[in-house]
Amino acid sequence: MTKLLEINNLFVNYGGIQALKDVNLIVETGEVVTLIGANGAGKSTTLRAISRLINPRRGEIIYNGRNITRRPSHEVVQLGIAHSPEGRRVLARQTVLDNLELGAYIRSNSAEIKADINKQFQLFPRLAERRHQLAGTLSGGEQQMLAIARALMSRPKLLLLDEPSLGLAPAIVREIFSIIQNLRATGVTILLVEQNANLALQIADRGYVLEAGCITLTGKASDFLNDQRVKQAYLG
């Protein structure tokens, strides 16, 4: 396996708040790695630092052998990192199709873009049926699917998924997690942030526990599922 992502000694502040303190993390090519932790632990902040939506105070982010710590976010997308943010953030007044096209903003070959839109429709048949519907009128689960599909439109090597199960009914969550598993089979590497640690650990290869901005535990997902500390704190 080769390292696709390596985070070294990362510190992030929001004004006076230290959100990340010396975070170290590795994602190998082809893995699904999950980051679990309580509310406010810094999970979303880690993803935002990787996709370059925020600037770290210290540390480095190496992607595919390249130091991207200070690169602009559009360049990071071009290099193959896509971020499906918490809260979905689809463009409510645009159609499903428009949202997907926007996800391909770094690309110019319209035939390829069209082919990729069709790929998303195969992966997410619910979106195909609703291609002309305004994204804001989709259900929560459909908006989550659209957010993931839009991220995939940049043909990422590394997909950052933030809380895909948030606020969704169990049946939809199962559907979305089965799609995430299919994605991994297509060779996309995934860094998954999830409140639902049980579910995340079932599809992940490895996990990290983040507590108050620090990584406190790392290991195989299967070991986490049997770890007393993880069980007590995160698996209910």
Task: Say how far apart CA 14 and CA 61 lie, in whole Å.
Answer: 18
Q: Is 16 in the site for ligand ATP (CB under 6 A)?
A: no
Q: Under the criterion CB under 6 A, does residue 207 sit at the interface with ligand ATP?
A: no
By CB under 6 A, is residue 41 in contact with ligand ATP?
yes
Could you tell me which of 137, 151, 210 has the C-alpha nearest to residue 180? Answer: 151
Site map (CB under 6 A) of ligand ATP, residues 69-98, x = contact: -----------------x------------
Near ligand ATP in 160-199, by CB under 6 A: 195
User: Which residue type does 65 have?
Assistant: G
Check residue 45 for interaction with ligand ATP (CB under 6 A).
yes
Does residue number 44 form part of the binding site for ligand ATP (CB under 6 A)?
Answer: yes
Contacts with ligand ATP by CB under 6 A: the residue count is 13
β-partners of residue 83 are 160
Stretch touching ligand ATP by CB under 6 A, among 1-9, 14-22, 144-152, 196-204? 14-22
Q: Does 17 bind ligand ATP (CB under 6 A)?
A: yes
Q: Using CB under 6 A, which of 1, 40, 70, 178 touches ligand ATP? A: 40
Q: In Å, how far are 60, 86, 229 from 165, measured between CA atoms?
A: 29, 10, 23
Burial of 113 per CB tally in 10 Å (0-12, 13-18, 19+): middle
Among 10, 34, 43, 164, interactor with ligand ATP by CB under 6 A: 43
105 binds ligand ATP (CB under 6 A): no
Q: What does DSSP assign to residue 138? A: S
From 43-51, 72-80, 93-101, 170-178, give the range in contact with ligand ATP by CB under 6 A: 43-51
46 closest CA partner among 80, 81, 74: 81
Contacts with 92 (C-beta within 8 Å, 6 or more apart), sequence order: 134, 135, 136
Q: Smallest distance, Å, CB 202 to ligand ATP?
A: 19
CA distances in angstroms from 75 to 27, 80, 105, 111, 130, listed in the order given: 20, 9, 12, 23, 31
Question: By CB under 6 A, is residue 108 in contact with ligand ATP?
Answer: no
Q: Could you give the 3-state DSSP secondary structure of residue 228? A: helix
Q: What angle do CA 6, 80, 21 make, to 5 degrees?
A: 30
Q: Minimum distance from CB of 175 to ligand ATP (Å)? A: 22
- Chain positions contacting ligand ATP, by CB under 6 A: 14, 17, 19, 37, 39-45, 86, 195
